[in-house]
Amino acid sequence: MSGVIQIIGSIVLACVPAFIWGHIFYAKNPEKRTLTALTFFAGAFAVFPILIYKALWQFFPWINAFKVADFFKDDIIGITNLVAIPVSIVITFMIVGVIEEIMKLLAVKVVDNDEIKTVDDAIEFFIIAALGFSFTENILYFYNIWMSHGSSFLLLPFLFRSSFSTFAHIMFSGILGYYYGLAHFAKPILQREIREKRKHWTVWLHKVFNIRKEKLFYQEKILEGFVISIGLHAIFNVFLELNLTFMIGPFLIGGYITLNYLFDKKENHIKYSKVFSGVRNHPHPKTGVYFPNKSIAKKK
């Protein structure tokens, strides 16, 4: 029975930020409750492959990607005369961002890839997966503190994790979800941009190298989303590592404003699935071929 109370208590505590933030963002673009629950739990279980990966380090040290940072432990980035950031820390946190954002993306692809009808849907599903991921992280975090230091030390970590860390996950994944949504509907979105006479670089590159424009657009948006979300993830963790807590508030407020702006963009509400019913709106990542979307075709 040892630790049972701590486990149950940690789960209850982790439910609080998940419910509050979930209610706030679910109201912006409600999805089917079944899909919402499945996405949340897929995000929650996405933490465990990372834990298994870390556990294997003691048996297979060579698979530890964080050892890459050791090569830069003597290098320093000087932002000002007062702030110097070791390059190894930046690389470590970027690796953390890569791993976590990939796991949340996989959670969405497994459950909801064929259910994404608008860019807003993509943002919403990524936020739900992030809430699930943060939920499991918070359980482990609260449990470790409770077992190591006692329940009296939980208040400040609970407030910080609920207010800042949980929303940070939402921000990183929500922004990635926006770019994933653009990539998901690469064909109609690129066609719209060309119709509106925007000089998109993929059009020029297509003419030079004869590469499918939509495939380039798809890959560009996926890469752009990862670079931005991983960069923001690393910045947030660097703020924590260097105790620059005064920067966290403005940083996350900016993220909240950005997410609201993305939800409110009119073009993000367009239901592209109705325009190209029964056909995927993005090319296959390897072949670049458009192929029938069976899950949509069945609903006809």
Stronger pLDDT, 267 or 58, i.e. the higher one: 58
Top mean-pLDDT range of 61-65, 137-141, 276-280: 137-141
Is 81's pLDDT higher than 80? Answer: no
Stronger pLDDT, 238 or 208, i.e. the higher one: 238
The per-residue pLDDT for 210 is 44
Top mean-pLDDT range of 64-68, 109-113, 154-158: 154-158
Is 295's pLDDT higher than 50? Answer: no
Is 288's pLDDT higher than 80? Answer: no
The per-residue pLDDT for 91 is 78
Q: What is the mean pLDDT of residues 5-20?
A: 94
Structure token digits, residue 135: 């939920």
Closest among 11, 54, 38 to 109, alpha carbons compared: 38
The domain locations on the chain are 4-290
The per-residue pLDDT for 76 is 63
pTM over 0.85: no
Is 166's pLDDT higher than 80? Answer: yes
Q: What is the mean pLDDT of residues 97-118?
A: 89
The per-residue pLDDT for 194 is 57
Structure token digits, residue 138: 């918070």
Is 203's pLDDT higher than 60? Answer: no
Closest among 28, 179, 25, 36 to 101, alpha carbons compared: 179
pLDDT category at 132 given cuts 50, 70, 90 is very high
Is 296's pLDDT higher than 60? Answer: no
First-residue to last-residue Cα distance in the chain:
53
Q: What is the mean pLDDT of residues 14-18?
A: 95
Is 174's pLDDT higher than 80? Answer: yes
Stronger pLDDT, 293 or 27, i.e. the higher one: 27
